[in-house]
Structure 1
Amino acid sequence: MKVYAINGSPRKNKNTATLLQKALDGVKESAKDKEIETEIINLYDLNYTGCISCFACKRLGGKSYGKCTVKDDIKEVLEKLSEADGIIFGSPIYLGNITGQLQSFLERLIFQYLVYDKNHSSIAPKKMSTAFIYTMNVPEEIMNEVGYLKTFNHIGAYIEQIFTKPLVMYSNNTYQFDDYSKYKMEIFSEEEKAAHRKAQFPIDCQKAFGLGVNLIK
């Protein structure tokens, strides 16, 4: 079995990456006697674009039907994911949405399998399990008030249409810097942020672990 975590954050050891690793640890815990491979793929290490609308993946009778043909750094990643048993996506929230890197990646991953028929069917080779971890600076109440959930549900609907309905977790009011005094951030209280992280982030790590445990059944 193979489960991949797709890190849409530019940081490899902060909130999003940490929670993705915890989720993979949970996957390994749930596997027990099963042989399972896990890997984190850091999108910011790769050079690629979003969908270029060439429609090669839609050409009837062509060798590329159902496959993205753009040759760049994620071509091999897309091939890996076609054989995955599970995919866990993770992203911080920038301007109310997932990062541009992850958005571009999802365009390439999802569009190749989306059929333009009446049901918008999927030709993904496997209906692998999926999950999504969202991390953000705003508290949960603000996330609910400003419409973030509508965006997240929209993303989840596309993933469900092609693969399976994703398990979802949110990590709110995240701690962003080691020293807030070095940045123009007076609307935030470093003391409050630090206290919240100390109390909440271990809980979020447990939630991510549990998400991983429940990913592969």
Structure 2
Amino acid sequence: MKVYAINGSPRKNKNTATLLQKALDGVKEAAKDKEIETEIINLYDYNYTGCKSCFACKRLEGKSYGKCAVKDDIQEVLEKVSQADGIIFGSPVYFLDITGQLRSFIERLLFPYLVYDKNYSSLAPKKMPTAIIYTMNVTEEIMNKSGYLSTFNNVEGAIERIFTKPLVMYSNDTYQFNDYSKYKMEVFSEEAKAEHRKVQFPLDCQKAFEIGASLIK
């Protein structure tokens, strides 16, 4: 078995990456008696674009029917992820949405599997379990009141249509810098942010672990 964590953050050791690793730790813990491999894929390591609308993946009897025809850095990643036994997506939230890098990856991964028949059925090789972890600077209250969930629902709906309904978690009011005094940030209280991280982030890590453990049950 193989479970991949897809890191849509440009940072490899901060909030999103940490939670993704905790989720993979949960996968391993739950898999105890099974042979299972886990891997984090850092999308910012690759040079690629979103869907180019060439429609080669939809061309009947075409050699790329049901798979992306674009040959770039992400091509091999798309192939190996297609055979996964589970995928955990993770992204910081920029302007109420996942990062452009993750959005482009999702386009390239999912669109070739989407069939333009009356049921919009899926050509995905596996109906693997999925999860998605969002990290964001805003509080849970702002997230609930300001349209974030509507955007997230669109992302999750696309994943569910092709694979399965994703398990979801949010990490809110995240601590972004080691020293807030170096940045134009007076709208935030570094002290409050630090205290929130001290109390909440360990809970978020545990929640991510539990998401991973639940993924392959």
TM-score of the superposition, structure 2-length normalised?
0.99
The offset of 1:148, in angstroms, is 0.3
State the Cα deviation string for residues 159-204 of structure 1 (Å, max 9, x = none). Answer: 0000000000000000000000000000000000000000000000
CA distance in 1, matches of 2:25, 2:167: 16
CA distance in 2, matches of 1:151, 1:107: 15
CA distance in 1, matches of 2:172, 2:144: 11
Q: Give the equivalent residue in structure 1 for 2:170.
A: 170
The offset of 1:62, in angstroms, is 1.3
Helix, strand or coil: the match of 1:35?
coil
Q: Give the equivalent residue in structure 2 for 1:48.
A: 48
Q: Give the equivalent residue in structure 2 for 1:94.
A: 94
Q: Give the equivalent residue in structure 2 for 1:183.
A: 183
Q: Give the equivalent residue in structure 2 for 1:65.
A: 65
The offset of 1:82, in angstroms, is 1.2
Query: Identity rate of aligned residues, in percent?
Result: 81
State the Cα deviation string for residues 99-145 of structure 1 (Å, max 9, x = none). Answer: 00000111100101000111111010000010000000000000000
Q: Give the equivalent residue in structure 2 for 1:9.
A: 9
Unmatched 5+ stretches in structure 1:
none
RMSD of aligned Cα (Å):
0.4
Helix, strand or coil: the match of 2:23?
helix
The offset of 1:49, in angstroms, is 0.3
Q: Give the equivalent residue in structure 2 for 1:110.
A: 110
Helix, strand or coil: the match of 1:90?
strand
CA distance in 2, matches of 1:41, 1:213: 19
CA distance in 2, matches of 1:111, 1:81: 14
CA distance in 2, matches of 1:24, 1:56: 34
CA distance in 2, matches of 1:44, 1:12: 9
Residue 210 of structure 1 pairs with residue 210 of structure 2: yes
Helix, strand or coil: the match of 1:168?
strand
Helix, strand or coil: the match of 1:205?
helix
Unmatched 5+ stretches in structure 2:
none
1:115-126 alignment, distance < 5 Å: 115-126=115-126
Helix, strand or coil: the match of 2:13?
coil
CA distance in 2, matches of 1:111, 1:42: 21
Letter in 2 for 1:16: T
Q: Give the equivalent residue in structure 1 for 2:131.
A: 131
Letter in 2 for 1:168: V
TM-score of the superposition, structure 1-length normalised?
0.99
Give structure 1 regions of 4+ aligned residues with deviation exceeding 6 angstroms. Answer: none
Helix, strand or coil: the match of 1:161?
helix
The offset of 1:7, in angstroms, is 0.1
Helix, strand or coil: the match of 2:113?
coil
Helix, strand or coil: the match of 1:41?
strand
